[in-house]
Amino acid sequence: MSIYHYNFETNWKFEADIEQIWGLINKFNYGEWWKGLDSKRVKSESTKLAVGDRFRLFFTTKLPYQLSFESEVVKLESPTYLEIKAFGELEGHGIWTLSQEGPITNVQCIWKVNTNKKWMNTFAPLLRPAFVWNHNQVMNEGAKGISTSLGVKLISL
């Protein structure tokens, strides 16, 4: 079975303070504000986010399938950088980078992953464009969730 690699880059801009955005992203309580995503803490050494913390993420997507995987925090620099390692139905790395420019917070999320679901890899040559579209829809829900949850203006997806 071939493994299909995906490199996704998502960029958002919010009219908000970086600490506000960081406060949502680093809590991993995504299910409270991100439509279609649920997260549960699996392992943590403290109540604050730290390297080594693990979470289980469950995605319900726009297309008729779900994805779940575990993530582990591998690097953390508050409030600008969060790197996680993913394993399970998705495997690879995710990096969140935040920066402040005046009243605007820029958020970049990069995912370098491969799928471990047999059916997805079997049909990837045909369905890859749909999988990419689906990923973008999931990420758009995240941006809308941040905007709504914090009451801040989403400037661009």
Cα 85 to chain centroid distance, Å, stands at 11
Cα 13 to chain centroid distance, Å, stands at 15
Look at residue 46 in the predicted model and tell me its pLDDT: 66
Look at residue 40 in the predicted model and tell me its pLDDT: 87
Give the CA radius of gyration of the chain.
Answer: 15
Tell me the mean pLDDT in the region 102-125: 95
Tell me the mean pLDDT in the region 76-90: 96
- Name the DSSP letter for residue 78: T
Buried b / exposed e along 71-104 (16+ C-beta atoms within 10 A): bbbeebeebeebbbebeebbbbebbbebeeeeeb
pLDDT digits (tens, 9 = 90+) for 17-62: 999 999 998 888 888 999 999 988 887 666 678 899 999 999 999 9
pLDDT bin (cut points 50, 70, 90) of residue 143 is: very high
DSSP string spanning 85-123?
A: EEEESEEEEEEEEEEEETTEEEEEEEEEEEE--HHHHHH
Quote the number of domains for the chain: 1
CATH of the domain at 110: 3.30.530.20
Could you list the residue range(s) of the whole structural domain that residue 57 is in? 5-156
Dihedral angle computed from the Cα positions of residues 132, 146, 94 and 6, in that order, rounded to the nearest 10 degrees? 0
Look at residue 4 in the predicted model and tell me its pLDDT: 82
How far apart (Å, rounded) are the C-alpha atoms in residues 136 and 145? 14
Q: The tokens of 93 are what?
A: 């790395």
Taking CA atoms, 48 is separated from 74, 76, 86, in Å, by 14, 11, 20
Instruction: Please give the model's pTM, rounded to 2 decimal places.
Output: 0.92
